[in-house]
């Protein structure tokens, strides 16, 4: 009985890991965040007008989009935007941003 229980647990764990990996891959491939939306969403969090920010670089990994922005006054920021894909039906959470070189804190209560 013990061998059957272990086999069932291993099968459940393997299936769950594959399902989670598949969701992340789908989220990454279906990211619909435009450069303009990234700038608009991060501008509000940073206290700038969208016209005062420029998107320098971006990359997507799973459900997160990582963006590097530069303000007209020379300040540079790194931001994480969660969502904007099929897994989240296009909705996003408020971006988490920090000045370049500072620790970016992301998560509940940050």
17-30 tens-digit pLDDT: 554 555 556 556 67
The model's pTM is 0.70
**Domains in the chain, number:** 1
- Rounded CA separation 105/110 (Å): 6
- Rounded CA separation 16/21 (Å): 9
**85 belongs to a structural domain:** yes
**94 belongs to a structural domain:** yes
Domain range for 77 is 2-99
Buried b (16+ CB within 10 A) or exposed e, 48-64: beeebbebeebebebbb
Q: With contact defined as beta carbons under 8 Å apart, do 97 and 74 qualify?
A: no
**41 belongs to a structural domain:** yes
**108 belongs to a structural domain:** no
What is the tens place of the pLDDT at every residue in 57-91?
999 888 889 999 999 999 999 999 988 787 777 78
């Amino acid at each position: 009985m013990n061998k059957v229980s272990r086999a069932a647990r291993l099968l459940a764990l393997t299936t769950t890991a594959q399902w989670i990996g598949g969701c992340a891959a789908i989220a990454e491939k279906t990211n619909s965040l435009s450069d303009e939306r990234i700038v608009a969403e991060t501008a509000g969090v940073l206290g700038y007008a969208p016209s005062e920010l420029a998107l320098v670089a971006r990359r997507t990994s799973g459900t997160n989009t990582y963006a590097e922005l530069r303000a007209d006054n020379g300040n540079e920021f790194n931001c994480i935007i969660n969502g904007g894909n099929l897994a989240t039906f296009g909705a996003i959470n408020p971006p988490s941003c920090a000045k370049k070189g500072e620790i970016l804190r992301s998560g509940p209560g940050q």
